[in-house]
Structure 1
Amino acid sequence: MGTSANNADERRTIYANWILSQAFSEVARGIRESLEEAYFFLKIAKIHDGPMKADAFNALMRESRKEAQRAKFPDLIAKVNQGLTEALVFAAEFHSLQKVRNCLEHRGGTVGAQDADADGVLILSMPRIKLSYMRGTEEIELEPGCTVDPGDERKDVEIYSQRVTRTRAYRLGERITFTADEFQEIAFACTLFLGDLVAKLPKATPGDLKRGKLV
């Protein structure tokens, strides 16, 4: 009975991690595809000068998307950054996201030499929003379900928020795993990245587009 129960628990753990790994790959792929679409938008907007025939537009669209799909992730970010109003804030973090995705998809989640740095470590770095308050001189981070306890008679407590980076290291030969809470944090980090990308795309009026001009 004990062995069967342990095997069942192990299967549940493996299955849960498989689901989370698949979900991680999907959100990482979504980041990549969003950058490819941004590259396409910037390329079209930059060279568009008045009306364009459908065949010419479709050919340009296919070529632009091929260029984006062929580009390595750091190169793709660099190309997109060139057309944005400001450089992306989270470029390094989302490069690490793609490296973890590659490990999950090509090596079953076991860190190989292709994934690790010179020290034999694969780093996943993700931005997050940290909420905290002060209890005397001690900073207390707010966690889900926690109760604010200022340690004194205060009825109103000021809540602070700041963007920080959470880092996780996987060593050579180690298997990448996630908990549901970790995946939720990763998914939220992706919304920060996409918000940053959209906010920095150049804006244009219809007249600007006709003249091939973006501001």
Structure 2
Amino acid sequence: MEKTHINIDFVELQNEACKSVRRASVFMALGVNAATNPGFNEYQLTETPKIRLVPSNVTEETLRHFKSEFRNWIEAGALRELAEGFATFLDRLHYILRLIEAAVSGVASPLDYAKDSQSRFERAGTPNKLNILRQVFDVGPKHAHELQSISKARNCLSHRWGRVSESDVGPDGTLLVQWLGMDFLAIEPNGTEHLLADMPEEGILLPDGATIATRAVARKRSFAPRKVLSLSSRDLAEICWFYQHEINVTIQSATEYASRSGIEINPTDGSAVTPEID
């Protein structure tokens, strides 16, 4: 049987995964900005009275309720897209890793081997997918626990309109949402730090100047049962950034696995070529 090479492009996989994050970020921004814009109050789909489902002269209180529920709906949809996009990314990555594993270990039919294990992997939930990737290949994100906490928040928004129930809470009795965020700081020569997010509108005087720096920070929001889950626009933006960060970390660990397996990675475009296989 004629042997062939299989080209693997980790950068293409990374770009496709990050595209799903950007899509969720843009759609969530459009929805959240509409929900928080006091001048945007168009909630009717049509001007035709016969097919309107709600009256056009609702009270201000009802309108605020509409917009609050709309924001929850938008956030739930965007968090679902982030989670599902990440799960699809894991599926594609698993297939590549199985193919590498089969090629370097001399499996008789690497393509069949990869496809067979792939079908089982795709039926697994995300926590199991992460466990498989970590245990078999030592590949995966750095903050898997935090990613799962965001999925729990999405479930609460989707199934309980954001009101935390006993089924949402963890061992500490709360729904804990965690992610990696980013602080931007101005650091004076004497070491005094100023969070740019806390700067007053008029600014502050720094006679000796300052260095602008960034710092990764562990974020967490805790919600007790019967409380309404609420995340700020900054929280949501950081969560999107966090997903992209974890995709990049996962890709890096995958390229390291390929290198450990004897697969040469092209430093200019991130591509790799498996050994010759049947």
Tell me which residue corresponds to 1:194: 247
- In the alignment, the residues of structure 1 paired with residue 165 and residue 84 of structure 2 have an alpha-carbon distance, to the nearest angstrom, of 20
For residue 69 of structure 1, the aligned residue among 122, 140, 144 is 122
Tell me which residue corresponds to 2:31: none
CA contact (8 A) 1:48 1:210 kept: yes
- In the alignment, the residues of structure 1 paired with residue 65 and residue 152 of structure 2 have an alpha-carbon distance, to the nearest angstrom, of 27
Q: Which moved more, 1:124-133 or 1:81-90?
A: 81-90
Shift, 1:108, TM fit: 4.1
Aligned length: 207
- In the alignment, the residues of structure 1 paired with residue 64 and residue 173 of structure 2 have an alpha-carbon distance, to the nearest angstrom, of 31
Q: 1:77 to 1:123 in 2, by over 3 A?
A: same
Letter in 1 for 2:228: R
Unaligned runs of 5+ in 1: none
Deviations 1:157-204 (A, max 9, x none): 212221111101122233323333322121111111111111111343
Shift, 1:125, TM fit: 0.5
For residue 57 of structure 1, the aligned residue among 92, 97, 111 is 111
Unaligned runs of 5+ in 2: 1-57, 266-271
Tell me which residue corresponds to 1:210: 275
Q: 1:157 to 1:138 in 2, by over 3 A?
A: closer
1:4-19 matches, within 5 Å, as 4-19=59-74
Tell me which residue corresponds to 1:142: 196
CA contact (8 A) 1:42 1:83 kept: no
Shift, 1:147, TM fit: 6.6
Deviations 1:32-53 (A, max 9, x none): 2222222222122211367987
For residue 95 of structure 1, the aligned residue among 148, 169, 176 is 148
For residue 80 of structure 2, the aligned residue among 9, 15, 25 is 25
Letter in 1 for 2:275: K
Shift, 1:87, TM fit: 5.7
Tell me which residue corresponds to 1:162: 215
Q: Which moved more, 1:69-78 or 1:20-29?
A: 69-78
Q: 1:205 to 1:120 in 2, by over 3 A?
A: same
Larger radius of gyration: 2
Deviations 1:69-118 (A, max 9, x none): 33343332222124556663212211212222333344443333332112
- In the alignment, the residues of structure 2 paired with residue 194 and residue 169 of structure 1 have an alpha-carbon distance, to the nearest angstrom, of 25
Tell me which residue corresponds to 2:224: 171
CA contact (8 A) 1:21 1:177 kept: no
- TM-score, with length taken from structure 2: 0.62
Aligned residue for 1:200, secondary structure, equals helix
- In the alignment, the residues of structure 1 paired with residue 193 and residue 199 of structure 2 have an alpha-carbon distance, to the nearest angstrom, of 17
For residue 205 of structure 2, the aligned residue among 145, 151, 167 is 151
Aligned residue for 1:210, secondary structure, equals coil
- Counterpart check, 1:180 vs 2:233: yes
CA contact (8 A) 1:111 1:170 kept: yes
Taking every aligned residue pair, what percent have the same amino acid on both sides? 19
Q: 1:171 to 1:37 in 2, by over 3 A?
A: farther
- In the alignment, the residues of structure 2 paired with residue 23 and residue 157 of structure 1 have an alpha-carbon distance, to the nearest angstrom, of 37
CA contact (8 A) 2:178 2:219 kept: yes
